[in-house]
Amino acid sequence: MSHLLHIDSSVRAEGSVSRALTARAADRWRAAHPGGTVTYRDLAADPVPHLDASNGLALVTPPEQHTPAQARTYALSSTLIDEIKAADTVILGMPLYNFGAPSLVKTWVDHIIAGGLSFAPDGTSLLGETEFIVLESRGGGYSEGTPRYGWDHAESWLTHGVSMTGLRPRIIVAELTMAAVDARMAHLQPLAEASLDRAHAEIDALWAADDENAA
């Protein structure tokens, strides 16, 4: 039976473009995988604890030497990685905050980079069989030819950040999302709508072949 891990990270409970994109993708995935199961994790509503002085060495310390705080962190990291291992597909919603990924996503990644859990001691990746779809929303314009082209540091960071695990993100972007609410960007609304339409089309095509086979 197919299984989906659906993750949101926007701090907006309402009006979030990234949440709308992941919801659309999850709906399309369910349609293509009748009987499939879904695990949902909301990193904004239930944040993963940051690594700090009390627990930050948990993933590089032998379990038999863990402090209580390190033991809790190691157990959580194991749970997060097991969620990925149990999934055929992971969908992650990632809004662009201050030109980078939300700290909520950074912390999730910090927890899943764990020797012996997400990659073997010899460096062999252990999560490479999982499909990883990232749906990114960007309030401004960062495409090639724009003044802030190259300012989106979330895409390259995430690709590099999870590389040891074998996860290979396919990133689908909707940008200029603030044009609908910021009067200064009103003239960019047609471009914003076109970007969102492209994102929707990419999402709708993700499992179209699976959907046809199921029919």
Question: Side by side, which strands form the sheet with 3-8?
Answer: 37-42, 3-8, 89-95, 131-138, 169-175
d(CA 128, CA 79): 18
Residue written as token pair 């989106």: 152
d(CA 190, CA 181): 13
Helix pair 189-205, 17-32: axis angle to 10 deg:
20
d(CA 210, CA 104): 32
Q: Assess contact for 95 and 17: CB atoms under 8 A.
A: yes
Q: For residue 214, what pLDDT is reported?
A: 57
Cα-Cα-Cα-Cα dihedral of 53, 154, 165, 40, to 10°?
90
d(CA 159, CA 163): 6
d(CA 154, CA 156): 6
d(CA 41, CA 81): 13
Q: For residue 66, what pLDDT is reported?
A: 97
Q: For residue 32, what pLDDT is reported?
A: 97
Calculate the alpha carbon distances from 77 to 139, 141, 142, 192 in Å: 31, 35, 33, 37
Entry pTM: 0.95
Is the CATH code 3.40.50.360 the one for domain 3-214? Answer: yes
Burial of 62 (0-12, 13-18, 19+ CB in 10 A): exposed
Q: For residue 135, what pLDDT is reported?
A: 98
Tokens of 80: 């997060």
Q: For residue 215, what pLDDT is reported?
A: 56
Over the Cα atoms of the chain, what is R_g?
Answer: 18
Helix pair 68-85, 103-112: axis angle to 10 deg:
90
Q: For residue 1, what pLDDT is reported?
A: 85
Consecutive 10-residue averages of pLDDT for the chain (215 residues): 97 96 98 97 97 95 96 97 98 98 98 96 95 98 94 97 98 96 94 97 91 59
Q: For residue 125, what pLDDT is reported?
A: 97
